Structure 1
Amino acid sequence: MKTQKVWFITGASRGFGLEISKAVLASGDKLVATVRKNPETLSAQFDNNPNLLVVPLDITNEAKAKEAAAKAIEHFGRIDVLVNNAGFGLLSAVEEATAEEVKKNYDTNVFGLLNVARAILPYMRKERAGHVINISSVGGLAAYFGWGVYGSTKFAVEGLTEAMALELAPLGIHATVVAPGFFRTNFLDESSLIRTSNEIADYHETVGNMRVLATELSYKQPGDPEKLAQAFIKLAAAENPPVHLPLGSDTLQRFREKTAAFEKDIEAWYDVIVGTDHDDVKQAK
């Protein structure tokens, strides 16, 4: 008989969060779904399912994150799977992005994720069990022009999750970072994507073309969100889940291209790379 898990998913009102929420409830598991506003709308969408608790949460507010975690524990008794999904994109050249735009992107994508993790991990540590799943991006594995700042937030998520996996493993808790490619969600429209207010003409051939491409690609992306949601169900059920899980053939191709280019650089600069060691270290080798 299937053991019922309790999930905690941020940003559950649309996109990946909504699709994963649908899959979780369809599987028979319990769900704490957080939304920034109008929690009653999501509850009604799922016909007030008794396995669902919808909690309003702005993840940039650490105190509210702790309150949401406490409500989850009070309602369901535990949290088995945390999915840090809430976030948004910023389409901008690195130089174009204003300080305020960069700060807002980091406040949600990095510091918001940390707020929720810090709120929930004490309960998982107490149980010596749990699985933290942080959502990154193909842009967190390899850079694209126009996505430098956003990608850097996801590079941070990759690094944080790798460290969490090491730190939490002795406590019986898993950590996985999922890097989706381009999936057919609302990510590229105005509900999830901010376009910088400061466009510089010199970036027209690079970032300017990416702005056009993002508009043309919206709702035509190759990835299937429903299949992504099922991948999350499989991931949460795994006895030995991976630390890294890229999703989508485009993500896999992009990562392989990056590692191949990295290996070429290492080969070309090998003498310089190893030539920076102290002479006694070289002799010891």
Structure 2
Amino acid sequence: MSKVFFITGAGRGLGADIARQALAAGHQVVATGRRPERVLETLGGEQENLLATALDITDPAAAEAAVRAAVDRFGRIDVLINNAANFYAGFFEELSDAQVRAQLETNLFGPMNVTRAALPVLRAQRSGHIITVSSLAGVVGVDFCVAYSAAKFGVEGFMESLRHDVEPFGIRTTIVEPGFFRTELLVDSSTTYAELSLDDYAERTAETKKVWESMNGQQAGDPVKLADALVEVAELDEPPLRFIAGDDCLQAVEAKAEELLAQVEASRGSGSGLAHADAV
């Protein structure tokens, strides 16, 4: 059954792959990006089932305009995929306050802006599916990723709580946790390195930056396979609350779950029995 997909960050990388796979599966696609002409070029030009429209996810008014354009063209939105993101890399003290705030603005408040714009449509339909791309770094703290992890951990909390808000309206939610896929997240236009420099971090920063730069284009994960899997998830009647993608992320999330259980046990002696006497 054909669905209307609304995809952010569809001008390149994973967003473009998701759009292609959704179109190939017979769905209608609203592909958004800062430059809709680039989105069209990337996806092969004008198509009956494709609407390319402008969207800066940090602008709530732009999100509302893009949602209106989607409904004007296709009449509804069935699947919202919050995919657009960027990456501010660096150790916390070397990232400026402005950089950390910019990271949160795009990677946390961006999905919130688009979701807020789309929810009135989904509620009116009493149906829909919100899929937000998080990261391995949204589950496990990662070296050199403090701002990115802060934003993605926020996405996890946002989506896990949003589920309870919207389930009564027939709206489903899925958090996607990819490991390292060969997307364009590490290209120069998506990655910004810390603008400050402190002597105590200088050697580690230089070494870590080289590692991250060397990873670009060498990640094990195939984004086309991930895009195909996400379209399949979107087609499910009962989609999962979380979709963990990639062997590296599956192993990391499993290890984190075991670590959390161990911490529960370690805390049980001192962490239990702390209630007021009249609450027992």
How does the TM-score come out when normalised to structure 1?
A: 0.93
Q: CA deviation at 1:97?
A: 1.2
**Structure 2: distance between partners of 1:222 and 1:204:** 29
The equivalent of 2:67 in structure 1 is 69
1:223 is paired with a residue of what secondary structure?
coil
What do residues 16-69 of structure 1 show as CA deviations (whole Å, max 9, x unaligned)? 1011011011111001011112x2233244231111000011111111110110
**TM score, norm. by length of structure 2:** 0.95
RMSD across aligned positions (CA): 1.5
Would the alpha carbon gap of residues 275 and 95 (structure 1) be closer, same or farther in structure 2, given more than 3 Å must change? farther
- What's the CA shift for 1:143? 0.3
Is the Cα–Cα contact under 8 Å of residues 146 and 206 in structure 1 kept in the other structure?
no
- Give the counterpart letter for 1:41 in structure 2: R
Task: Please point out which of 103, 120, 123 is paired with 2:121.
Answer: 123
- Offset of 1:6 from its aligned partner? 0.4
Aligned-partner Cα distance in 2 for 1:141–1:230 = 23
2:245 corresponds in structure 1 to 247
Q: 2:37 aligns with which of 31, 40, 63?
A: 40
For the residues of structure 2 that align with 1:265 and 1:170, how far apart are their CA atoms?
34
Rounded to whole Å, the distance in 2 between the matches of 1:148 and 1:212 is 18
SS in 1 for 2:88: strand
Q: How does 1:139-218 map to 2 (within 5 A)?
A: 139-204=137-202, 207-218=205-216
| Matched residue SS, 1:33 | strand
Classify 1:82/1:254 alpha carbon distance in 2 versus 1 (closer, same or farther; 3 Å).
Answer: same
**Structure 2: which 5+ runs fail to align?**
none
Q: Per the alignment, in what secondary structure is the counterpart of residue 93 of structure 2?
A: coil
SS in 2 for 1:54: strand
Q: Secondary structure at the match of 1:95?
A: helix
Residues 196-216 of structure 1: CA deviation (Å, up to 9, x unaligned): 111333235655543222112
Q: Which residue does 2:83 correspond to in 1?
A: 85
Counterpart code for 1:18 = A
What residue identity is the alignment partner of 2:113? Answer: N
Specify every segment of 5 or more residues in structure 1 that has no aligned partner in the other structure, as ranges. none
Following superposition, the deviation at residue 92 of structure 1 comes to 1.1
1:100-115 to structure 2, matched below 5 A, reads: 100-115=98-113
Could you tell me the percent identity over the aligned residues?
A: 38
